[in-house]
């Protein structure tokens, strides 16, 4: 097992025990099955970014807070285009790749979102006071945050609250590519 994966497995277990939760309580809160959580804690399974994200949210943390990697001496962090660990989601609707190194994902997260034709990314409310910035690189999208919607084209940017239900929908004929930056509110607001 890679050192990063081993660290994450140990961190999940220590965070659960710190809160006094059983595996069943963490499973109920995170939506990740008890058996998967048990495998992760034992190091028998490596969590995907999506699973790690759900576990982090159950603890009231960002993904970066869960990982909480010790810093290295390098001043330049690189996320390679072919790094499979950066793939957050890939399905029939969209592909999401995290562009920020995991240890930086505490207050700010940076993503590349590729929406297939008619693809939609539906997002539940994030932590209180979280904001998102979106820039359209390719195609056309409809952004909805709460009750408001706007149509955006290549080169357009938007800033909106992400502590309400929000969605990004590809309304063009081809693939749409957008860049997203999530900026979390103050740490005390992350307990939901």
| 19 in a structural domain | yes
Please tell me the predicted confidence (pLDDT) of residue 191: 47
Least confident span in 8-17, 61-70, 140-149, 160-169? 61-70
Helices 34-42 and 3-19 sit at what angle, rounded to 10 degrees? 120
CATH code of residue 35: 1.10.260.40
pLDDT band at 14 (very low <50, low <70, confident <90, very high): confident
Least confident span in 24-28, 99-103, 108-112? 99-103
Alpha-carbon distance of 181 to 111, in angstroms, equals 6
Supply the pTM of this predicted model.
0.60
What total number of domains does the chain contain? 2
Closest CA to 126 of 113, 109, 114, 142: 109
Alpha-carbon distance of 111 to 182, in angstroms, equals 8
| 71 in a structural domain | no
Provide the strand spans (E) within 36-130: 87-90, 94-98, 108-115, 120-123
For residues 120 and 47, membership in a common domain is answered with no
For residues 104 and 157, membership in a common domain is answered with yes
Domain of residue 35, residue span: 3-59
| 66 in a structural domain | no
């Amino acid at each position: 097992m890679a050192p990063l994966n081993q660290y994450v497995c140990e961190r999940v277990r220590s965070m659960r025990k710190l809160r006094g939760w059983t595996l069943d309580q963490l499973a109920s809160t995170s939506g990740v099955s008890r058996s998967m959580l048990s495998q992760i804690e034992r190091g028998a399974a490596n969590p995907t970014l999506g699973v790690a994200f759900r576990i982090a949210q159950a603890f009231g943390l960002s993904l970066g807070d869960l990982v909480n990697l010790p810093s290295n001496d390098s001043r330049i962090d690189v996320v390679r285009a072919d790094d499979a660990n950066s793939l957050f989601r890939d399905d029939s609707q969209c592909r999401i790749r995290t562009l920020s190194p995991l240890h930086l994902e505490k207050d700010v997260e940076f993503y590349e979102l590729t929406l297939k034709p008619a693809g939609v990314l539906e997002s539940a409310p994030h932590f209180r006071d979280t904001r998102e910035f979106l820039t359209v690189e390719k195609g056309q999208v409809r952004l909805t945050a709460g009750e408001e919607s706007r149509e955006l084209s290549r080169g357009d940017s938007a800033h909106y609250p992400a502590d309400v239900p929000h969605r990004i929908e590809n309304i063009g004929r081809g693939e749409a590519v957008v860049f997203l930056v999530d900026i979390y509110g103050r740490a005390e607001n992350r307990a939901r």
